[in-house]
Amino acid sequence: MSIAENIKPAMQQSAKTKDLVLGLGKTGLSVARYLTRNDIDAIYVDTRDEPPGVEELCTINPTAEIFLGEISEKVLKGISRIIASPGITDSHPFLAAAHSNGIEVISDIQLFVAEADAPLVAVTGSNGKSTVTTLLNLMCDSAGKSSLAGANLGVPALDLLIKDKPDFYILELSSFQLKRTQDLPVMVAVLLNISSDHLDWHTTEQEYRKAKYHIFSGAESAVFNRGDADAVAHFPRDIRSLSFGLDEPDGDGYGLRNDAGDVFLSYGSKSLLSVTDLNVVGIHNQANCLAALAAGHLMNLDLSSMLAVLSEFSGLPHRMQIVGRYRGVLFINDSKATNVAAAIASISSIQGRVVLIAGGQGKGGDFDHLAKSTSEYLRAVVLIGEDAPALESAFNGLIPIKRASGLAEAVNFAVKLSKTGDTVLLAPACASYDQYEGYQERGDHFTREVEALLS
């Protein structure tokens, strides 16, 4: 059957009870593989007229019914449940119609937890979850335990089920996935931090927080940030828990403590590793390391193996990634700083003045808070993308501002504005989708522009 034969008019209705997969991105295709493996009948819907992934879907399931473009509610006839891709909001008219018709809307994670038969470790937070998920995966390997990591990071969760059963599944979970997952029986739940983010998806910050707190709902044990009073108030008291924070730990917790003039990652009163022996940049990465240690503790991983990983780990691409130095100015790619809190953490972790490159799609972020929190660290700001005007309004009168047409021009402006000893930092505080396929493509572009200076 040709692709054209698979694609149905969006007005056509389903003939019998079946699942509906909404969105043909990476997650949607992983759902298609799962459903096909399990002989579960489904139709596939995408609101775009020409979405990527259609050809791959037809390879996965040559007889799949595919509906593209503007969707009629008639497609919902005979649908038992919708498995929605994370980026599609509940306010979308199609999902709103599904809810009003009593049709269950779930995530791919709901399917995953029903089948996974190894202990689950779940990691969420506004910032740092990819780093902590990666650290835990490396710590398992160092300690002689097998693990598979994925979900919001890297491999979609359902594709992990194709591989041999590990000792642990380690899942990075977004607020979108958590909100649409009813059952979450995890061995260890890790909540790193919560800051205002994704308010273009969630209606309020409290709704966003509620989705994040759902990670504790079925947990056997929990790791939480004791610096977030609201989070402390929401984690369950009847399960084993460990806290982490950037203060000195009190008793059964992880934190930082001064010892003989040095600062150490510590467990209670025990110093574990000097922060000077870490191979990552910034105090926010120290917090990530502490959270990973706490989670590994609850997973019963060997402490010496975990510390060995922390002394070697150099960070993930696009997360405070050092690109190079040009005429005495350091260039750092933190394209993954897609919200205000992440950008503030990155800027405040740098020694010396910063020329900031920021902008993109703001997702409802508080740019006034960004400007007031960081202007003392900044020499100048160079703005790009869709929400550059809003950022300019926030920074106006605080520091010098330049508007650039794109990253190539932004890097050139940043070079002219910087002085010896400064850092040029790409920490956009915004999503990238106005100009790029994702933060990775944006970070790669920045890296190429800087490397061109160095050549």
Q: Would you name the residues annotated as active-site residues?
A: 129, 152, 198
Residue 20: CB atoms within 10 A of its CB come to 24
Residues contacting 39, CB < 8 A, separation 6+: none
DSSP letters, 329-382, are EEEEE-TT--SHHHHHHHHHTSSS-EEEEEESB-TT--HHHHHHHHGGGEEEEE
User: What is the rounded CA–CA span in Å between residue 38 and residue 20?
Assistant: 15
**C-alpha 315 chain-centroid distance:** 15
Query: What one-character-per-residue DSSP string does 387-450 give?
Result: THHHHHHHHTTTS-EEE-SSHHHHHHHHHHH--TT-EEEE--SSBSTTTSSSHHHHHHHHHHHH
Q: How far is CA 290 from the centre of its chain?
A: 18
Instruction: Please list the helix, strand and coil fractions of the chain in percent, rounded to the nearest 5, in that order.
Output: 35, 25, 40
- Please answer whether residues 315 and 285 qualify as being in contact, where contact means their C-beta atoms are separated by less than 8 angstroms: yes
Q: How many CA atoms lie within 13 A of 330 on its CB side?
A: 16
Beta bridge partners of 123: 172, 190
Cα–Cα dist 136/262, whole Å: 26
Task: List the one residue out of 92, 79, 27, 75 whose CA is nearest residue 53.
Answer: 27
Of the candidates 257, 219, 215, which has an alpha carbon nearest to the alpha carbon of residue 241? 219
The token duo for 30 is: 């992983």
